[in-house]
Amino acid sequence: MFGFNETLLKEKTVLITGASKGIGRACALMAAKCGAKVIAVARTQSDLELLQQEAPEQIEVWVEDVSAVSFTDKVKALPQLHGLINNVGTNRVASMLEQADEDLDAVIDLNLKSLYRTAKAALTPMLNAGGGSIVNMSSQMAYVGSPGRTLYCMSKHGVEGLSKAMGVELAPQGIRVNSVAPTFVLTPLTEPMFQDEAFKSFVFDRIPMKKLATTDDVANACLFLLSDLSAMVTGTCIKVDGGWTAQ
């Protein structure tokens, strides 16, 4: 983990949503290795139990739906919280003419509204802790447009606006807010997509580094923003996109 060590997040409590797979899982394991007490949140108990087995003394699991009031109430009731990674998200790929109203609601509700509600709930225990750091999972699609991804782009552009506004509003209270914007990340979920040569060419032609991000690439950026290494960083974004949006 290069410059990270087991004391980077020592004595800090970090809550991570969407923690059972992919980027969220990588963030949970990395935070635990850096000394944090991790609250890993997801809807699938079996996946969370497998995660917990990796670091049973560091990782606590919550089987929760982030859109439920019971979840936000549980977050608000925490005695202290030092870090939050808002990692949940979804996508519905289709042309505008083919998108159903329920797709619009599903993407905005999970990608944007749930981030706001979770962050709002986290403010109470963060203020109890004397401050904290919130990392909202964004995307390179927050900076560009892409065919078939109008809903996703809209939601992620919203995440960037939300992160900037939160960063400005909460700075006087010692709470930093930033985002991380990955390019396409290689996971078991995305791997089948790259068996389509046309899609693979579309993606790789736009990434100057000519490779996909790994979950650890994204987790590294998230952990930096959670830690005191980024003590003067708020209201901004780290793009883990291999140069896609620099063109």
Q: Compute CA 11 distance to the chain's CA centroid, rounded to the nearest angstrom.
A: 22
Cα distance between residue 240 and residue 222, in whole Å = 10
CA 93/CA 234 separation, integer angstroms? 31
Helical pair 22-33 and 215-226, crossing angle rounded to 10 deg? 50
DSSP count for the chain of H helices, then E strands: 8, 7
56-73, pLDDT tens digit by residue? 999 999 999 999 999 999
pLDDT band at 107 (very low <50, low <70, confident <90, very high): very high
Select which of 143, 152, 184, 244 is catalytic: 152
- pLDDT confidence of residue 2: 53
5 or 28: which carries more pLDDT confidence?
A: 28
Q: What does the pLDDT read at residue 233? A: 98
On average, the pLDDT of the chain sits at 95
CATH entry, 13-184+214-235, from 3.30.460.10, 3.40.50.720, 1.10.10.60, 2.40.70.10: 3.40.50.720
- Provide the whole-model pTM: 0.96
pLDDT at 83: 98
Average pLDDT over residues 79-95: 94
Res. 20: pLDDT tops 80: yes
DSSP 64-86: --TTSHHHHHHHHT-S---EEEE
Rounded to 10 degrees, what is the CA torsion of 76, 232, 230, 214?
90
Q: Is the pLDDT of residue 19 over 50?
A: yes
Say whether 143 is catalytic.
Answer: no
Report pLDDT for 3. 63
